[in-house]
Structure 1
Amino acid sequence: MDHFTPRNGVLRLTVLAADIAAALTPPTESPPMSLSPARPFRPSRSLCIALALMPVLGVGTLAACDAARASASQERPVKVGLGSASGNPTVQAGDQLRVSADGGVLTEVTVTDPRGRQLVGGFSQGGTVWTSRAKAAPETKYSVLARTKSAGGATTEAKESLTTGKVAKRNRVSFSPRPRGGVVGVDDPIRLTFAFPIRDRGVVERRLSVITDNRSEGAWSWEPAHGGKDRIVWRPTHEWKPGTKVTVRAELNGVDSGDGRFFTKDYGLRFTVGRSAPVRSDLDSDAYITPGLGPTPALWQGPGG
């Protein structure tokens, strides 16, 4: 019969229910047409099939619904948390940033400052924790992007941000040559003098770089400055070639110099080497006086000054 070729499950149940009702409804009386005894009532083929199929369809549908509800209840969204590596919920200057995942694992973590520089870090505890290797800088807003995977394989992405507070004690650095101190002769080194002592010189030195347009080689060394201040000096292996363009970078923002003193900005210096001439150094001001030589060097500082 056409009743048993439905287009969807809903139509099938509707037709079967109608067949059942029709089959069970007793026939209406009509004027006798014959004296022959009526045949006994027998269930139709459609009724038998309907009764056989209904329990099977019902159990299958309920089982599928129960399984879907159970799966949905077991799949919890991954919760991403931020804090310091020491366990504090807030991140202060000098802290290492910690990102954690509850209910899954971290697959990728990116932490950037307003200038687009990233805090490098690594995973631990089976991928549930990410910790930065570098320390957070003071007064800096960090944007955090964390991608996660749940136990069931679902992937999600979380975006958070945090801002570190101000610091009470700061350190500073001054350059030689300085913008007002003339220009650089071929024998002049680069000097960086710090306002307060440096506890870990290696940390500071790794943040310093000298770039030249002719790949001049040289090295850093530490020496006492006038008044007992710490000073680091970069001397070229051979004397500067006249016309050499030099860029000095001191990416010190966020570095703890010791005793709770932080650098709160980056520094830089650009200059072009002039011709050879006697140079007189003023140790009190770290200024160089070389009359009549070349361009004046340019000094820049990071955000904040």
Structure 2
Amino acid sequence: MSQSPDRHRRPTRSLYVALALVPLIGVGTLAACDATKASASQGQPVKVGLGSASGTATVQAGDRLRVSADGGVLTEVTVTDPRGRQLVGGLSGNGTEWTSRAKAEPDTKYSVLARTKNPQGDTGEAKESLTTGKVAKRNRARLTPAPHGDVVGLTEPITLVFAFPVTERAAVERRLKVITDRPTEGSWDWSSTKGGKDEIAWRPKDAWAPGTKVTLRAELNGVDSGGGRFFTKDYGLSFTIGRSGAVKADLDAGAYTTPGLGLTPALWQGPGG
């Protein structure tokens, strides 16, 4: 029985090409399916909004700043002013809002960095900024004992006299800091001047130690002193405590005792002197 001559004929080139394409088409289809699944698993980015805790879009001086998340939650929020100081705050229980604990300062640009997460678990980051409104009413402070760098006496207090009444005294006092180059115990005390103006003074428990270097930092910018009257600047002074104290009279010796100089003759000793 004779065999057909076509039985042992080699496959044509076009058949090889067709067979070679079969697995490639399958791989391409699977890859496309995987890409579709990956795209479907990614949700929409979380939208971050800024405003005041009272619900208004504009943040006025004295308002608390609020950062909100739409379509997800906030995982971390950092708010800083132009000097790099952070505005402290906290997240709500469900993570959709962050509210500052401290009040916003007037006419200040705040930079906001918010990290977010959507329901699909995708994380994101948003950078925003806002500038708070200016204030209509201001308060001012006058500092004593001396201009920057002067030498003062052993019993001289640090005093701030305010141009307008201060009803938010605790808020003001929290922004005052006395720094010395040697341990010095003291405290703040509120009172009124003869002219009726509010003042606060820091006095050492004992007399200043001679030669002590003292610095006052009064970071009052943005603090509401009461009734919506804000401070719009920081204050500070530095001075050195003198190495001499008060001059004391020594009547028996007929002279004065001057610290650092000892006994010096009295210029006036009274009748018969």
TM-score, with length taken from structure 2: 0.77
Match of 1:200 in 2: 168
1:277 is aligned with what amino acid?
A: A
**201, 205, 222: which one pairs with 1:233?**
201
Match of 2:118 in 1: 150
Alpha-carbon distance, 1:226 to partner:
2.4
Change (3 A) 1:68 1:195: same
**81, 93, 110: which one pairs with 2:61?**
93
Alpha-carbon distance, 1:182 to partner:
6.5
Contact kept? 1:177, 1:183, Cα under 8 Å = no
Alpha-carbon distance, 1:259 to partner:
1.7
Match of 1:215 in 2: 183
Aligned Cα RMSD in Å? 2.9
Superimposed CA distance per residue, residues 191-216 of structure 1 (whole angstroms, 9 cap, x where no aligned partner): 11111111111111111110100021
2:41 is aligned with what amino acid?
A: S
Residue 71 (1) aligns with residue 20 (2): no
Q: In terms of Rg, which structure is larger? A: 1
Alpha-carbon distance, 1:120 to partner:
0.4
Residue identity (%) = 67
User: 1:65 and 1:136 mapped to 2: Cα distance?
Assistant: 46
**238, 241, 245: which one pairs with 1:276?**
245
Alpha-carbon distance, 1:62 to partner:
8.1
Match of 2:21 in 1: 11
Match of 1:102 in 2: 70
TM-score, with length taken from structure 1: 0.69
1:92 is aligned with what amino acid?
A: Q
Unmatched segments (≥5 aa) in structure 1: 16-53, 279-305
1:264 is aligned with what amino acid?
A: T
User: 1:112 and 1:68 mapped to 2: Cα distance?
Assistant: 37
Change (3 A) 1:186 1:11: same
Residue 187 (1) aligns with residue 155 (2): yes
Match of 2:88 in 1: 120
Change (3 A) 1:180 1:118: closer
Unmatched segments (≥5 aa) in structure 2: 1-10, 248-273
Alpha-carbon distance, 1:63 to partner:
6.2
Alpha-carbon distance, 1:70 to partner:
3.7
Contact kept? 2:74, 2:117, Cα under 8 Å = yes
User: 1:71 and 1:10 mapped to 2: Cα distance?
Assistant: 33
SS in structure 2 at match of 1:232: strand
User: 1:272 and 1:59 mapped to 2: Cα distance?
Assistant: 81
User: 1:172 and 1:223 mapped to 2: Cα distance?
Assistant: 17
Alpha-carbon distance, 1:152 to partner:
1.2
Contact kept? 1:175, 1:190, Cα under 8 Å = yes
User: 2:126 and 2:207 mapped to 1: Cα distance?
Assistant: 53
**134, 153, 157: which one pairs with 1:166?**
134
Residue 130 (1) aligns with residue 87 (2): no
Residue 267 (1) aligns with residue 235 (2): yes
Change (3 A) 1:10 1:273: farther
Change (3 A) 1:158 1:217: same
Match of 1:246 in 2: 214
- Number of equivalenced pairs: 232
Match of 1:111 in 2: 79
Contact kept? 1:171, 1:262, Cα under 8 Å = yes
1:71 is aligned with what amino acid?
A: S
Change (3 A) 1:68 1:173: same
Residue 84 (1) aligns with residue 94 (2): no
Alpha-carbon distance, 1:11 to partner:
2.4
Contact kept? 2:148, 2:238, Cα under 8 Å = no
User: 1:148 and 1:154 mapped to 2: Cα distance?
Assistant: 8
- Between Structure 1 and Structure 2, the one with more helix by share is 1
User: 1:93 and 1:62 mapped to 2: Cα distance?
Assistant: 54
Superimposed CA distance per residue, residues 185-243 of structure 1 (whole angstroms, 9 cap, x where no aligned partner): 00111111111111111111111110100021100111111211111111101100111
Match of 1:22 in 2: none
2:116 is aligned with what amino acid?
A: T
User: 2:150 and 2:86 mapped to 1: Cα distance?
Assistant: 36
